[in-house]
Structure 1
Amino acid sequence: MSRLDRLAALVDAARRAGADAADALLIESQSLSVQRRLGQTEHLERAESTDIGLRVFVGARSAVVSSNVTDPRGFTALAERAVAMARVVPEDPFAAIPEARPLPVLALDLDDPTEPGAEQLLARASAAEEAALAIKGVTNSEGAEAGWTRNRVALVTSRGFAGEYARTGHSISATALAGSGTGMERDYDHSTAVHLADLEDAALIGRRAGERAVRRLNPVRATTARIPVVFDPRIAGSLLGHLSAAINGAAVARGTSFLKDAMGKQVLARGLTVTDDATRPRGMRSRPFDGEGTPTAPLALVQDGVLQSWVLDGRSARQLGLASTGHASRGTSGPPGPATTNLWLNAGHVTPRELMEDIAEGLYVTEMIGMGVNPITGDYSRGAAGFMIRGGELAEPVSEITIAGRLPEMFLHLTPACDLAFRRGTDAPTLRVDGMTLAGR
């Protein structure tokens, strides 16, 4: 049986067991990963799994069961357990399976036929680590890793939807140590891509990791001050993550977001746009449909600084009296929930150097520590490390500091540089936020 035929048989079994509606999800995963440290192979793992999940509705009650056994001969028992569970849980008037909608034809190019072997991955990891160790001042290594994955997702619902897609992933990372004794510092670099052709060179990854580690040697603890803070692109996306959490439909429906009353209002500086697009070719989180079978489409969440949309799945949309934005995310063992896909903030018009050139004293952040963010009030306080900015130039490394502010004000004072690059699932260029508090000595 094909994957879709198998899932259709499971949905039929649920209907025979007494379900008023049902959907079935199958996720197949394959992965190969290696780790090298100081020239030795420390880790080599191949994993394959197939998981199946069934969600059933009995009236306004629903339940989810999952299994890694996909033999249709066990579907009747699985469906009966799910229906029995649904009959004893509280009603949820907002949960439902949406009516199927036609899927547009999309050229997402998500399945790279290139499947590397262990030797190829080990060669990449070796190249990355050797490049890191070759940097003057690097004294040790936490290793380099290389990996490959292929995931296939299939979904069938009793409301007429059936679809599947596959997405691959290639990755390389390296972590280097510089200095000695209690004065050692570490740093890293990594690259991920759907297609091997888009993966950054392994030696480049290692070299950057080594250079970053050496640059962090002999840090000082900065003096407490109120100063401009510039976020390196590899952690600037964390600010975008806090924004997406605040406009997540589930949080808004619960009233647990500091932006719950901000629809149609200015939430970012003028000129800034935040886009989520699951249809971007070769995107790290691209997909033709979401976890409920709703077709995906590009969505401007913020336009010219004004909030335009929440991030919604079916349930949160019904709670808010709106329509799903196609952002349902799920696994086989739980119900859907809203989540972003390929999320990014638009680039600005100045280079990172120009962004900093008027800063007499500021902070350039390269690493964040902890999650001191209050989602209800927007209070922001996180540990950080990086470099002081003096006279528009990067100066001495700093560590053991905290930066603090309030996200509503921080968002309104964001200034982006022009160096946006799509390297992760959530991407932002170098970002400057004026008026933050640096807590040091």
Structure 2
Amino acid sequence: MSRLAALTEALLHAAKQAGAEAADAMALSGTSQSIDIRAGALEQAERSEATEIGLRVLIGGRQACVSASDTSPATLSRLAERAVAMAREAPNDPYAGLAAPDQIAKHWDLAALQLVEDAPEPSAAHLESLARAAESAAMAAPGITQVEASAGYGRRAVHLAASNGFAGGYERSSHSVSAVAFTGSGTAMERDYAGEGRIFAADMPSATDIGALAAERTLARAGATKPKTGTYPVLFDERVAQSLIGHLVGAINGAAIARGSSWLLNGLGTQVLPAHLSLVEDPLRPRIGGSRPFDGEGLPSQRRMVIENGVLMGWTLDLATARQLGLSSTGNAARGTSAPPTPASSNLDLTQGSASRADLIRDMGTGLLITSMIGSTINPTTGDYSRGASGFWVENGEILYPVNECTIAGNLRDMLKRIIPANDARAHLSTRVPSLLVEGMILAGA
């Protein structure tokens, strides 16, 4: 981290020397490994190491961003000079600017967040053994014809510094194993997957369990047909339910609100979910991949109530969108090395229900259980919703057979007000959303 801190300070110094009035700098470094197994053979083994730097300079309301992977002193100087020259030609943005010194984060507890595993990097042989274990477990299921399995590891460090006095950084590690299983052939081929990722290797489920689950899910899809056309209740499985909340989160993003292109443009203070449901953002959850001690502009991370008892409490804002809307940043700036900050959410929790997914299946009568979705036609200004789906047909509260090649449609504003949550959200996910039942959706099938 000391090397990255030195790089950001050098970039800020170079920016000042080149004529910038204000600047912030980011330095990233990381290593990653991945092993891919396909049809019993090692298909790909990759390992990468990289360092990247980024600089944003401001001259009045004019700003420019530049990035590079070369960290030599000469490159830093040229980068700063180029950024300043670009900023002088950029259009004026009255909302661009750094945080005030009294806004920036000054204290945080990295140890409490547990974002990085202090352990040696796993060997390529170990990752291959995990991928092969997942593959073997999936292939052991009768009817599985082929498996693609992967295992990976990554460790990344980031440091951010700005001319307003902010400086801070942190590291993050990740472990992952996944498998995709296939059954059947030709037009009757079906596939499904299972995958897991954690910060700490000790928190990972076994590769064997992951492979077995991929096979189980795939075999359940064999013989899928088109469902009936009509209006039915639709149960979004926990694996896909967070996409519904994702559309809601996108609609309350400050960038969409500032552009006037959101179906929730006038939704502040109104009911957008059932009255017993809330949506909470907490970027300080320990041992979670989406956690962070501060945002991309150096503002402190903090827990906030996004939706309380169904009522929308606020937008998701960075500094620029907050200024444009006459509000205060919610500490939600995200950024890379080559672009200015934009608003983005971190860890989200939707209130869970008291019923299990099985209870909702029993209670829905006749309808569709969705386990996979493809394509998307979402009108950002009206909320009209249409997506391809596959899953299982339910009659009299029982799963009868797999279905595919169907389309579900509705309007997000109405759909979200009718959601009924199960209690099956997975605790380790950054976005924790349980299975969601939506009554009265249009289904186009056979």
TM superposition score normalised by structure 1: 0.98
Which residue in 1 is equivalent to 2:246? Answer: 241
Q: 1:418 aligns with which of 414, 418, 423?
A: 423
Q: In 2, Cα distance between the equivalents of 1:239 and 1:220? A: 25
Does the 8 A contact of 2:279 with 2:307 survive in 1? yes
Residue 83 of structure 2 is matched in structure 1 by: 82
Give how far 1:394 is off. 1.2
* Structure 2 contact 288–428 (Cα < 8 Å) conserved: no
Residue 342 of structure 1: which of 326, 341, 347 is its match? 347
Q: Find the counterpart in structure 2 of residue 127 from structure 1.
A: 133
Do structure 1's residue 409 and structure 2's residue 414 form an aligned pair?
yes
Within 1, Cα distance between the matches of 2:251 and 2:22?
32
User: In structure 2, what residue type is equivalent to 1:47?
Assistant: S
1:375 matched to 2:380? The reply is: yes
Alignment of 1:31-430 (within 5 A): 31-99=32-100, 100-106=104-110, 107-114=112-119, 115-141=121-147, 143-430=148-435
* Partner SS for 1:79: helix
Deviation at 1:355, TM superposition (A): 1.5
Letter in 1 for 2:129: A
Q: How far did residue 390 of structure 1 move?
A: 1.0
Residue in structure 1 matched with residue 9 of structure 2 by the alignment: 8
Per-residue deviation, 1:194: 1.1
Q: Quick one: which amino acid aligns to residue 31 of structure 2?
A: Q
CA contact (8 A) 1:103 1:289 kept: no
Check whether the contact 2:55–2:67 (CA below 8 A) recurs between aligned residues. Answer: yes
Question: In the TM superposition, what is the alpha-carbon distance from 1:354 to its structure 2 partner?
Answer: 1.3
2:139 maps to amino acid: L
Provide the rounded CA distance (Å) in 2 between the counterparts of 1:4 and 1:180: 54
Counterpart CA distance in 1 for 2:189 and 2:6 is 57
- In the TM superposition, what is the alpha-carbon distance from 1:423 to its structure 2 partner? 4.4
% identical equivalent positions: 48
Distance 2:186 2:339 in 1: 47
Is this contact kept in 2: 1:179–1:214, CA < 8 A? no
SS at match of 1:371: strand
Post-superposition Cα deviations, 1:36-94, rounded to whole Å, max 9, x if no partner, equal 12321111000111110000001110000111111234322211111010001110000
Which stretch of structure 1 is more off in the superposition, 389-398 or 179-188? Answer: 179-188
Determine if contact 2:105/2:294 at 8 Å carries over to the other structure. no
TM-score by length of 2: 0.97
Shift of 1:357: 1.5
Residue 309 (structure 1) shift: 1.5
Q: Distance in 2 between matches of 1:358 and 1:163?
A: 51
Please give the per-residue CA displacement for 1:128-181, whole angstroms capped at 9, x wherever unaligned: 01111111221222x100000111110000000000000011111000011233
Measured after TM superposition, the shift of residue 113 of structure 1 is 2.1
User: Residue type of the partner of 1:105?
Assistant: D
Aligned length: 440
State the alpha-carbon separation in 1 of the partners of residues 354 and 190 from structure 2: 34
Say if 1:240 and 1:344, in contact at 8 Å, map to a contact too: no
Amino acid at match of 2:438: V
Contact 1:37 1:144 in 2 (8 A): yes
The one-letter amino acid paired with 1:219 is A
Q: 1:408 deviation in Å?
A: 0.2
1:427 deviation in Å?
2.7
1:28 aligns with 2:34: no
Query: Which secondary structure state, in structure 1, belongs to the residue aligned with residue 272 of structure 2?
Result: coil
CA distance in 1 between counterparts of 2:63 and 2:197 reads 37
